[in-house]
Amino acid sequence: MKRLIEASHEEAKAHFLKCSSYFNGDFPKYISFEPVLAGVAAVLNGEQFTGFQSSKPAILPGVNYSFLANKDGRFAWRPYELMHPAIYVSLVNLICTEENWFFIKGRVSQFEQGAVTCCSSPVISLDHQTDQATQIRSWWQSIEQQSLIYSLEYSHVLHTDVTDCYGSLYTHSIAWALHGLEEAKQKPNDKSLLGNNIDFHIRSSRYGQTNGISQGSVLMDFIAELVLGYVDECITSALTISDDVQILRYRDDYRIFANSDDRAEEVLKIASDALRGVGMKLGVPKTYMCTNVVEGSIKPDKLAGIELRDLGDSNAKTIQKQLLRLHAFGRRFPNSGALRRLTSEFHSKLATQTEPPDDLEVQIAIATDIALVSPVTIPVVAGMLSHLISLAPQQNKARMWDKVHRKMQRVPHNGYLEVWLQRVIAPRSIGLQFQSEEPICRIANGGTPQLWENDWISSEALKSALNVANIIVDNPADMQEIVQPEEVAVFKQNAWEY
Does residue 497 register a pLDDT over 70?
no
DSSP letter at 52 equals: G
Q: What is the pLDDT of residue 104?
A: 98
Residue type, 26: D
Residue 444 pLDDT: 95
pLDDT for 33: 96
Confidence at 55, pLDDT banded by 50, 70, 90? very high
pLDDT recorded at residue 408: 85
* Cβ 469 vs Cβ 447: under 8 Å: no
Using CA atoms, how far apart are residues 48 and 58, in angstroms rounded to an integer?
Answer: 15
For residue range 115-171, list pLDDT tens digits in order.
999 988 888 876 555 656 556 666 666 788 899 999 999 999 999 999 999 999 999
Which run of H or E residues covers position 367? helix 360-373
Please state whether beta strands 156-161 and 288-290 pair in parallel, antiparallel, or not at all (unpaired): antiparallel
- The answer on pLDDT for 22 being more than 70 is yes
Q: How confident is the model at residue 496 (pLDDT cuts 50, 70, 90)?
A: very low
Averaged pLDDT score across all residues of the chain: 89
Angle at CA of residue 221, ends 220 and 223, nearest 5°: 60
Helices (H), 45-114: 85-95, 98-111
**What is the rounded (10 degree) CA torsion for 128, 131, 137, 143?**
160
pTM of the full structure: 0.91
Confidence check: pLDDT of 310 > 80:
no
What are the tens digits of pLDDT across the range 389-423? 999 998 898 899 989 988 888 777 678 888 999 99
Q: Is the dihedral of CA 135, 140, 146, 151 positive or negative?
A: positive
Amino acid at 25: G
User: Alpha-carbon distance 136 to 495, whole Å?
Assistant: 9
Residue 492 has pLDDT above 50, yes or no: no
